[in-house]
Structure 1
């Protein structure tokens, strides 16, 4: 298994320095509503921004727009003209080791309440809530099992819930791999005002059936929680990118090494549908690729 799956994230992560930046909203068009418990953004912390841009640009056609910020480097990542994520240059962060990783960002109604919940539930506040201008107020945490995530309270509202599948190369699903499924489910249910339901799945490497929980907001499913594929992994939030077909997934996996990335887990079938693989770009940050055809329902509706 890849080194990023093996080393612990036992460090103090300052995702935002003392300087307060003005970042654009996560969505250009909203209805003004906040959707607590929904993952509304993704930031990639990279120790190789140039290599990362080339990798994802070639693999999925992502476009990177650099923002002029005082003392920091940040890029907005778009697909087909729609912003889907951001990239942070690790060299501008106060980190004592390589912390390249994808940071999934959860919507919360009140950042101070989120801080209280995290502390009461045994997690860590890695960055106190801070304003980042037009985007809103962000905070960075680790849950009680050590998985990193961020929360955002937007200024202009969260992205609306889509009625159509995202395009290939966009974010399809969010899954927590954790050492304690029940405790984590209770924690995120409280943090995001979500409901939980149980289900069965299989290990990413095609192992035996494992315990699985779904996080729901009404009829919409916001994410999944599963036990760790192997005991010596750290807990982490794994974002999933959509790929339309298995043939397309195999083609993408074949290109990954030549583009400077690594295939961490080859494609395997999932009981819920489709196939999944795990790759890492040049920075080493893992991300899953999930096949989901146009004839399948939104994963949020399962």
Structure 2
């Protein structure tokens, strides 16, 4: 689908391994509880931070705040004053290739146990657990199919589950596109203590989709599906909410002029609404999903 689906996260981790950061918590809305298996943060590694800021600020109204960190450039990304993600400047990393990408971060209660679960399932530990101050302890992995993701054990508990839909431009959904749905389902079910359910689905061309949903506390945390294209590498795809198909059409019409690229035009989705895949100026892919105010909450996605 796009050349930047292929990357090497290990280069980032090797370059940053000697630097200790104190990052703020992912949310102030916590109650001390652990919500294993919930995706609670997102980091964008960008080779074009200035262009990325311009792109997402114009498209969704994201706000970028730079933090002063030793040896690295990092921004907190907020929407309507609420932190939703971070951005790392790739130029400060000794990478030999473009590694721009979105990194989805899953909550786990114990970082060392996460290392054990991933290792036993045939995955790779790309960054051993390390404290990043007030944010907690982070570790970075590749699963057995090569999909990259991170885990975070927060200091004061994980963000509470909201009773309303996220704002337009906020993160709505997380989906693993993988070459081995059974194997991946086994790993993430164990990692997040999640229940898995198989659902029937078909792609726009009529072919069958092997699709699973992962649930905890009666909430749907993520989806796992077979690869849309056989030659694609496995990856976690984050989804941003768009309120309507008409709004999605407007956003897609603006992507090229803002320095991005429409990778997959809008197509209907079996669970409802439409989805498209875009990339910002850095080339990191992200999905846009229509989900209206009148539709059910995220647990029904």
Do they superpose with TM above 0.5? yes
Asked if 1:157 is matched to 2:157, the reply is yes
Q: Which runs of 4+ in 1 moved over 6 A?
A: none
Shift of 1:157: 1.4
Distance 1:11 1:17 in 2: 10
Tell me which residue corresponds to 1:110: 110
**Alpha-carbon contact 1:9-1:234 (below 8 Å) kept:** no
Distance 1:234 1:10 in 2: 14
**Alpha-carbon contact 1:45-1:101 (below 8 Å) kept:** yes
Tell me which residue corresponds to 1:236: 235
In structure 2, the residue corresponding to 1:74 is in which secondary structure?
Answer: strand
Shift of 1:240: 0.1
In structure 1, the residue corresponding to 2:42 is in which secondary structure?
Answer: strand
Cα pair distance change 1:48/1:56, threshold 3 Å: same
Shift of 1:74: 0.4
Tell me which residue corresponds to 1:29: 29
Number of aligned pairs? 300
Q: How does 1:1-302 map to 2 (within 5 A)?
A: 1-5=1-5, 7=6, 9=8, 12-14=11-13, 16-203=16-203, 206-302=205-301
Gap runs ≥5 in structure 2: none
Shift of 1:218: 2.8
**Alpha-carbon contact 1:206-1:268 (below 8 Å) kept:** no
Give the alignment's Cα RMSD to 1 decimal. 1.4
Shift of 1:90: 1.1
Distance 2:66 2:252 in 1: 28
TM, length-normalised to structure 1 = 0.96
Gap runs ≥5 in structure 1: none
Distance 2:83 2:58 in 1: 17
TM, length-normalised to structure 2 = 0.96
Distance 1:183 1:293 in 2: 33
